[in-house]
């Protein structure tokens, strides 16, 4: 089993969005101090790495410029890295990745799978760092209309495999690659459920797989009340945990979550059963 960045399965990646508008934690950690406190708290709770993002990728979100993204993430990364915390930068831009790596991040989490910025592969290859390639078909503003599939499971697998091939051709060490099916990105609810049901198909490609289902809208819709309104974002934690257990059981390497404490508890239960 590969251990990207030395992190063994099951890995827990804690989400730290330093944005005013992310769908689940947007606006909560905009000040550097609040972000630092939350990042440190997630590490105390057992997160293996913290994923710092400065651009919202919520469906329909408008883009911010690269300088704004750098200004949001770099101070947070620099301070948390000084504490010895393992950090990934959640960005699709090579310029932001470069600044984040210089500030102390040691992972790049690219929701575009390397497709958004032709310079990203070279930055990652030069840094020799792990790179999460997430399945993506276009920026948030347009992604809803890109959610058309014949067989979502094999199409996501094949499109991600091409991203991995391109990364390797650009000089990235295969041992540094992690694949992520990108739940909610150019996917309708039924696509997310199908991907969750067939994680084995993506895992069979041979790279560690990361899954991000935490608090996403397909869970909110599943749990809608009698009035048809989706369950609010901060009341989707139990459903998120259910996806975590299913993903671990399917064999993923890691999970990307907002709520670290309950995730680590669930991981411990899963491990105890596995080892019994
Ligand atoms: N989801 C979001 C952002 N970044 N990165 C990866 N690798 N996988 C994901 O599923 C993913 C991601 C969605 O927004 P959030 O940061 O508010 O969860």
Atom 10 (ligand 1): residue with closest C-alpha? Answer: 212
Q: Is the CB of 219 under 6 A from ligand 1?
A: no
List the end-to-end C-alpha distance of the chain, in Å, as a whole number: 20
pLDDT score of 56: 85
Answer yes or no: are the C-beta atoms of 139 and 146 closer than 8 Å. Answer: no
Residue among 20, 175, 252, 257 nearest 270 (CA): 252
Q: Is the CB of 107 under 6 A from ligand 1?
A: no
DSSP state letters, 48-104 = SEEEEESS--STTPPP--HHHHHHHHHHHHHHHHHTT--EEEE-S-HHHHHHHHHHT
Burial class (CB in 10 A: 0-12, 13-18, 19+), 71: middle
Distance CA 218, CA 243 (A): 12
Atom 5 (ligand 1): residue with closest C-alpha? Answer: 111
CA atoms within 13 A on the CB side of 257: 32
pLDDT score of 29: 67
pLDDT in tens, 196-224: 999 999 999 999 999 999 999 999 999 99
Q: Is the CB of 216 under 6 A from ligand 1?
A: no
Q: Is the CB of 14 under 6 A from ligand 1?
A: no
Instruction: Tell me if residue 146 falls in helix, strand or coil.
Output: helix
Distance CA 259, CA 13 (A): 10
Residues of the chain where predicted confidence (pLDDT) is lower than 70: 21-30
Atom 11 (ligand 1): residue with closest C-alpha? Answer: 212
Atom 12 (ligand 1): residue with closest C-alpha? Answer: 111
Ligand 1 atom nearest residue 109's Cα = 7
Catalytic residue among 72, 187, 215, 216: 216
Answer yes or no: are the C-beta atoms of 39 and 80 closer than 8 Å. Answer: yes
pLDDT score of 61: 77
pLDDT score of 143: 82
Query: Would residue 216 show up in a list of annotated catalytic residues for this protein?
Result: yes
Q: Is the CB of 74 under 6 A from ligand 1?
A: no
This prediction's pTM: 0.96
Tokens 């996403």 sit on residue? 216
Ligand 1 atom nearest residue 111's Cα = 5
Q: Is the CB of 91 under 6 A from ligand 1?
A: no
Pocket test for ligand 1, best of 134, 195, 247, 259 (most atoms within 8 A of CB): 134
Q: Is the CB of 180 under 6 A from ligand 1?
A: yes
What tokens does 137 get?
A: 């078909």
Residue among 29, 6, 12 nearest 268 (CA): 12
pLDDT score of 27: 66
Atom 13 (ligand 1): residue with closest C-alpha? Answer: 57
Distance CA 221, CA 228 (A): 8
**Which residue segments constitute the domains of the chain, with CATH numbers given?**
7-275 (3.20.20.20)
């Amino acid at each position: 089993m590969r251990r990207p960045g030395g992190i063994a399965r099951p890995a827990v990646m804690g989400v730290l969005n330093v944005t005013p508008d992310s769908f689940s934690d947007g606006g909560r950690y905009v000040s550097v101090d609040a972000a630092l406190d939350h990042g440190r708290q997630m590490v105390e709770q057992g997160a293996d790495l913290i994923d710092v993002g400065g651009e919202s990728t919520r469906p329909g979100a408008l883009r911010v410029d690269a300088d704004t993204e750098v200004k949001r993430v770099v101070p947070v990364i620099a301070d948390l890295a000084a504490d010895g915390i393992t950090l990934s930068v959640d960005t699709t831009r090579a310029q932001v990745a470069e600044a984040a790596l210089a500030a102390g991040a040691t992972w790049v989490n690219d929701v575009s799978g390397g497709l958004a910025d032709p310079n990203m592969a070279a930055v990652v290859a030069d840094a020799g760092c792990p790179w999460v390639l997430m399945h993506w078909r276009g920026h948030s503003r347009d992604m809803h209309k890109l959610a058309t599939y014949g067989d979502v499971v094999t199409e996501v697998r094949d499109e991600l495999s091409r991203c991995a091939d391109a990364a390797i051709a650009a000089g990235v060490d295969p041992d540094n690659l992690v694949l992520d099916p990108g739940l909610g990105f150019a996917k309708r609810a039924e696509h997310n459920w199908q991907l969750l049901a067939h994680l084995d198909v993506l895992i069979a490609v041979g790279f560690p797989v990361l899954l991000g289902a935490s608090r996403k809208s397909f869970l909110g819709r599943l749990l809608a009340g009698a009035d048809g309104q989706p369950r609010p974002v901060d009341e989707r934690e139990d459903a998120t945990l259910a996806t975590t257990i299913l993903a671990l059981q399917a064999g993923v390497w890691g999970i990307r979550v907002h709520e670290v404490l309950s995730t680590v508890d669930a991981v411990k239960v899963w491990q105890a059963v596995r080892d019994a």
